[in-house]
Amino acid sequence: MSKRLQVILSDKEYEELSSVSASEGVTVSEWVRGALRKMNRDRSLLGVDGKLDAVRAAVHHQYPSGDIETMLAEIEAGYEQ
């Protein structure tokens, strides 16, 4: 089921959205739906507290790591491929 959402914009805001959507070859409604989807995707699901909890848990683990010079050399070599 679809729902209708009404958003009030100033004439200038609407003109800007209309121009942007036209340049991308989509309607204003389609462009707004895409922008909302992107914002929702990009939004962190954990929030600040969740992120801090993840960092606190991670510091208790031992992860393999190499010498910093070796790791930097490997990274640089990867750029050259």
Q: Which amino acid type is present at position 60?
A: H
Query: In this predicted model, what pLDDT tens digit does every residue of 32-56 receive, in sequence order?
Result: 999 999 888 877 777 888 889 989 9
Give dist(CA 26, CA 23) in Å, integer: 8
Q: Per-residue confidence at 13, pLDDT binned at 50, 70, 90?
A: very high
pLDDT at 26 over 90: yes
Give dist(CA 19, CA 25) in Å, integer: 10
Task: Give the pTM.
Answer: 0.54
